[in-house]
Amino acid sequence: MPSFSHSFHATSLREYDIRGIVGKTLSAADTFAIGRVFGTIVARNGGSHVVTGRDGRLSSPMLEDALIAGLIASGMKVSSVGCGPTPLLYYASYALKADGAAMITGSHNPPDYNGCKMMLGKKPFFGTQIQDLGRMAAEGDVVEAAPGSSETVDLRDAYITRMLQDYDGGTRALKVVWDPGNGSGAEITQMMTRRLPGEHIIINGDIDGTFPNHHPDPTVLKNLEQMIAKVKETGADLGIAFDGDADRIGIVDNEGVMFFGDQLLVVLARDVLKSHPGATIIADVKASQLLFDEVAKAGGVPLMWKTGHSLIKAKMAETGAPLAGEMSGHVFFADKWYGFDDAPYSAIRLLGIVARMTGKLSDVRHAFPVLINTPELRFDCPDDRKFDVVAEVKARLATAGAKVQDVDGVRVLSEDGWWLLRASNTQAVLVARAEAGSEVGLDRLKAQIAEQVVASGLVAPDFSGENAGH
């Protein structure tokens, strides 16, 4: 028998990270095993130094301690950046020239969830690598090494100083409302805004792992209501919100209207393309056609790619794209920055753009073509059927002569607009979305989705929710 062996809960090994409900499907024994095996992988990759961090959840200190113990047992030197945003850990991996990185975080999930995101070298650790980690743990396939060591490092000031080097808004005094959502980006927000010009109003600015004010997901309008009210009350130029570990950003303009992830990317892309003419700009398959059209108009090369922050980062490295983004609020700057998803850094770049505007951020939104779209619709489909259903739909569409983009699922183009059906990589659900130039056109697209889903033996998704102007 191997001296070490561990089996993870069947639901915890995801496409992009390891995640579960603390005390039920995720425990300290699990994060020790992550450290023990991930340290082995780093060692076999020729490395010896791993940086760790944790978000503000109540379970995170206990889980990080166990993670570090596992890494030490694999002979690693461990540098913990403590409690902070996931991008701080990513920054630390570069600043400390680490061989790997592991973050204890439940991201935007409810308070009883937690998990671990990892990097091997400077690349995301995901997909088959996570499945291999699970197999190695079960088989006890780990290195036997002399114990490593651990230290705590505070890189918050260095991280903020480096970010502020790229603020290019001059001294214009913007008024900004910030909502870090009681997540692990709260202290960074306070420290950063003290060094930015203008007036900064922070709500929900203390780290609180119970998330007492709202769920920390800034892509859901309900979670932005407090910030919208404060923007209107104070006459602010914009509002900026982060998710639970501050790797995703949400924006509202001076009128308190939400900017979707793809609309934000249009604003950022136009600016980046001024210094990188002809560059590739990547967005995920859920993004509006508006984004791809506007990137082309601005002289860029739009590239539609698969949803998932790890997949986007890998594609950026492959194509040399200076900027990428997802509807979920992940924004990746390789222009002047490191190519990882970083909400505080994206906020600083956006503030520079707004400070240099002659008008208001709402003027940009008003100038966009009016499109009507559904929210992202997620509906149940068994894990062992979801990819088959998409394949069945694709086959039927091929025989019907439909115009299909199949980068990730099926995205069907028509005179009305487009609709999307894809399988989630992380849940037993299918994801649908549609966008058109009119309500009548959108209804036709919804009917096409329903027809295809029913043809594969599933119940049609509920389209009764409100459509969004875009």
Residues 124 and 23 in one domain: yes
pLDDT of residue 337: 98
**Calpha distance 441→446 (Å, rounded):** 9
Q: How confident is the model at residue 1 (pLDDT cuts 50, 70, 90)?
A: very low
The answer as to whether 236 is a domain residue is yes
The answer as to whether 11 is a domain residue is no
pLDDT of residue 349: 98
**Calpha distance 438→222 (Å, rounded):** 25
Residues 221 and 266 in one domain: yes
Task: Name residue 436's beta-bridge partners.
Answer: 372, 417
The answer as to whether 7 is a domain residue is no
**Residues 112-171 pLDDT 10s:** 999 999 999 999 999 999 999 999 999 999 999 999 999 999 999 999 999 999 999 988
Task: Give the chain's domain count.
Answer: 3
Residues 84 and 184 in one domain: no
Contact assessment for residue 77 and residue 100, using Cβ atoms and an 8 Å cutoff: no
In the predicted model, what is the mean pLDDT of residues 58-83? 98
pLDDT of residue 467: 55
Residues 164 and 216 in one domain: yes
Residues 358 and 378 in one domain: no
pLDDT of residue 462: 80
The answer as to whether 1 is a domain residue is no
Residues 64 and 99 in one domain: yes
Selection from 106, 44, 103 nearest residue 68 by Cα? 103
Residues 311 and 289 in one domain: yes
Q: How confident is the model at residue 174 (pLDDT cuts 50, 70, 90)?
A: very high
In the predicted model, what is the mean pLDDT of residues 81-100? 98
Q: Of all residues in the chain, what percent carry a pLDDT higher than 70?
A: 98
In the predicted model, what is the mean pLDDT of residues 384-394? 95
Which of 367, 397, 421 terminates a domain? The answer is 367
Residues 188 and 319 in one domain: yes
**Calpha distance 400→394 (Å, rounded):** 10
At residue 262, does pLDDT exceed 90? Answer: yes
The answer as to whether 13 is a domain residue is no
Residues 171 and 54 in one domain: no
The answer as to whether 177 is a domain residue is yes
Q: Tokens 């008003």 belong to which residue?
A: 366
Residues 145 and 241 in one domain: no
| Domain extent at residue 448 | 372-469
Contact assessment for residue 295 and residue 279, using Cβ atoms and an 8 Å cutoff: no
Task: Calculate helix-pair angle for 128-139, 28-44, nearest 10 degrees.
Answer: 100
Residues 6+ away with beta carbon under 8 Å from 126: 15, 16, 17, 308, 310, 311
The answer as to whether 363 is a domain residue is yes
CATH code of the domain containing 27 = 3.40.120.10
Residues 241 and 381 in one domain: no
pLDDT of residue 461: 81
pLDDT of residue 227: 98
State yes or no: is 414 an active-site residue.
no
pLDDT of residue 460: 84
Residues 147 and 95 in one domain: yes
Mean per-residue pLDDT over the chain, rounded: 95
pLDDT of residue 465: 58
Residues 6+ away with beta carbon under 8 Å from 170: 197, 355, 356
Cα separations in angstroms, 434 against 219, 251, 397, 425: 17, 22, 16, 20
pLDDT of residue 82: 98
In the predicted model, what is the mean pLDDT of residues 450-459? 93
pLDDT of residue 246: 97
pLDDT of residue 470: 55
Q: How confident is the model at residue 463 (pLDDT cuts 50, 70, 90)?
A: confident
**Calpha distance 348→109 (Å, rounded):** 25
At residue 317, does pLDDT exceed 70? Answer: yes
The answer as to whether 108 is a domain residue is yes
At residue 289, does pLDDT exceed 50? Answer: yes
Which of 341, 367, 393 terminates a domain? The answer is 367
At residue 95, does pLDDT exceed 90? Answer: yes
**Calpha distance 381→51 (Å, rounded):** 38
In the predicted model, what is the mean pLDDT of residues 283-305? 97
**Calpha distance 398→416 (Å, rounded):** 19
Catalytic residue among 60, 107, 288, 310: 107
Which of 315, 345, 367 terminates a domain? The answer is 367
CATH code of the domain containing 396 = 3.30.310.50
